[in-house]
Amino acid sequence: MPTADKETEFAELVRDYENQWIALVEKEGSKVVVGSGRDAVEAAQAAESNGFPDATLFRVPSFTSAFVPCGV
């Protein structure tokens, strides 16, 4: 079975976390969600209670909206 590229792997990882904050760690070369919540504090607390106090926090956006940066 072919290995998925990193972008596809990440998209699969965050699929269930739309509009939420997640806490991530890297384990054996892959990212793993170790906590989630409605806000960053909740996600960080979940990660810490799971034994990962230094997890990276990431806000998963809505999958139906678009981001268009403006040049200032």
Residue 54 is assigned to a structural domain of this protein: yes
Residue 55 is assigned to a structural domain of this protein: yes
> What's the domain count of the chain?
1
pLDDT of residue 24: 97
pLDDT greater at residue 72 or residue 49: 49
pLDDT of residue 1: 45
Distance CA 54, CA 22 (A): 13
Task: Give the amino acid at 14.
Answer: V
Distance CA 20, CA 68 (A): 20
Residue 47 is assigned to a structural domain of this protein: yes
Task: Give the amino acid at 55.
Answer: A
pLDDT digits (tens, 9 = 90+) for 11-67: 899 999 999 999 999 999 889 999 999 999 999 999 999 999 999 999 999 888 777
Domain that holds residue 38: 18-59
Residue whose C-alpha is closest to residue 13's, from 38, 48, 22? 22
Whether pTM exceeds 0.85: no
Q: pLDDT at residue 2 above 60?
A: no
